[in-house]
Amino acid sequence: MKQQDMVMTRGRGRGMRGGMMRPMGPGGPHFGPKMKQFVPRLPFDMVLCESAFPRVKAAPDESAFTQALLKRNTDLSPTAAEQAAVLNLVTKIQTVMDNLIVDPGTFDACQIEEVRQVGSYKKGTMMTGHNVADIVVILKTLPTKEAVEALGKKVCDDLRVLEPQEVLVLTMLPNDRGFEISNSEATVRVLVTTIHQNLRKLDPELHLDQKILQSHLAAIRHSRWFEENAHHSTIKVLIRLLRDLRGRFEGFEPLSPWMLDLLVSKVKMGTYVTLHVASVLISVALDFEPVVRVYAGGVGGRPAVAWEDRVLEGCWSFSIPQAHYAILNNPSRQALPINSAFRRCLQLLAAGLFLPGSAGISDPCEGGNIRVHTAMTLEQQDLVCLTAQTLLRVLSHGGYKQILGLEGNSTCAFPLQGIASEMSVWDGVVVSALEKAYEKPPERPPQDDDTDNMDADDDPMETTDN
């Protein structure tokens, strides 16, 4: 009896309020489908494990590669005249906005709370030929389309009054994000948003789109984070180089500027993401010396790709797991040289950093541990990975001038796409373009009598964060 009472006591603790047991339905207790736990993986990073894999040969001299990177950055940097033109227009618009905050006068279409500079101009990563600056205007009032257009006209009128002796050919073009003010030398995009309290009061028919307003608030957070964490000058150089790479290779087009900012700042300083589980796939040559070839293990169906071609034929492979690291750091905790950081960016992308199942890079400006690469579709994630793999192989065989656009026609969009999509030969080594590893499954017709099977039909590459 005592044992029975003890069992009943423990059972009451797990029941409903008041000690009553939950009634069982027909067929016994039902616990529901078990959720599969998401275990993020991180591709192998040679920079972090270089001490565990000592070289059998001396590191090659990459002074020419470094000079090519610096030369390309010089070519991409805006001239002094371009910077002065943008600065002049930004300063005047900022002055007009500040005057409207302090003394709006008879202007009552809207009320300005704050004005912040964002984007590449604020971060110092502006590129030549793109004389565009971004300003976010936070309104106290609701951002109606009429109010935004009235604000743009008011700013233009005040600019002409501010500089009466200077003949300004200004144009104001309203759009779904705010408005643009341009002269013959520069353009300033004024991105309109509102305070957080007003986001719940928006009417889609009257006000700007809520997602656009939230993206403008996010741009302010991105700019603030960049100013605090990515102020290193070489980070800005590498961002400019990768933005140029994104503009010349179609496979990198899905990468957003914020993804590039996070990738470069984390890679450059050597800390980029929280890691739970990662794996290293290495092949040991059957020889007298322990010569190794380090591979980036395939993630989400993407095949492995060699980072360094230093292995003989006839190898056997095994896996080395790495688990429960908190934050991956550069052992020296110093900024990497520009040549090593550029190669590391391609290595991580090629190894599957932005593939489904990867830990990726968590957005530091958003809650909920959101991985930035989940904004891309599965096709785009695969395209980024295969493009990085092909370019990394070209880079390993001395094709850095073609990758950087120093050789070949680099004036039009995607002029060197053939390197990433067609076969090329580098010093007798054939580099073949990779095929897509992900194919979107065909859509199935809806089935009214079997909805459960439709819900359980998951994509093989897709993962879900918990």
At residue 456, the pLDDT reads 45
Determine the average pLDDT of the residues in 315-343. Answer: 51
At residue 31, the pLDDT reads 57
CATH code reported for the domain at 77-229: 3.30.460.10
**Span 5-55, pLDDT tens digits:** 443 334 444 444 444 445 555 555 555 566 677 777 877 788 778 788 888
- Whether domain 41-74+237-431 has CATH 1.10.1410.40: the reply is yes
pLDDT greater at residue 326 or residue 107:
107
Asked if the domains 41-74+237-431 and 77-229 are classified in one and the same CATH topology, the answer is: no
Determine the average pLDDT of the residues in 185-208. Answer: 94
Of 12, 222, 11, whose CA–CA distance to 119 is shortest? 222
The total of other beta-carbon atoms located within 10 Å of residue 283's CB is 19
Range of lowest pLDDT (8-12, 156-160, 261-265, 388-392): 8-12
Break the chain into its structural domains and give their ranges. 41-74+237-431, 77-229
pLDDT above 90 (res 323):
no
Determine the average pLDDT of the residues in 305-314. Answer: 37
Of 53, 59, 46, 48, whose CA–CA distance to 290 is shortest? 53
Indicate the DSSP class of residue 56.
Answer: S
Range of lowest pLDDT (152-156, 352-356, 416-420): 416-420
Long-range contacts of 333-338 (CB under 8 A, 24+ apart): 333/270, 334/270, 335/232, 335/234, 335/235, 335/268, 335/269, 335/270, 336/47, 336/267, 336/268, 336/270, 337/66, 338/66, 338/69, 338/70, 338/234, 338/237, 338/238
pLDDT above 90 (res 278):
no
At residue 386, the pLDDT reads 92
At residue 309, the pLDDT reads 36
For the chain, give the mean pLDDT: 76
At residue 447, the pLDDT reads 66
Range of lowest pLDDT (30-39, 145-154, 429-438): 30-39
pLDDT above 70 (res 463):
no
At residue 152, the pLDDT reads 94
Q: What type of residue sits at position 83?
A: Q
pLDDT above 80 (res 248):
yes
pLDDT above 90 (res 387):
yes
Rounded CA separation 118/128 (Å):
18
pLDDT above 50 (res 307):
no
Range of lowest pLDDT (16-30, 85-99, 309-323, 392-406): 309-323
Determine the average pLDDT of the residues in 401-415. Answer: 66
At residue 200, the pLDDT reads 92
Rounded CA separation 138/153 (Å):
17
Q: Residue 199: which pLDDT band, with cuts at 50, 70 and 90?
A: very high
Range of lowest pLDDT (52-61, 62-71, 388-397): 52-61
Determine the average pLDDT of the residues in 218-243. Answer: 91
Range of lowest pLDDT (157-161, 230-234, 283-287): 283-287
pLDDT above 60 (res 189):
yes
pLDDT above 90 (res 94):
yes
Global pTM reads 0.74
Indicate the DSSP class of residue 16.
Answer: S
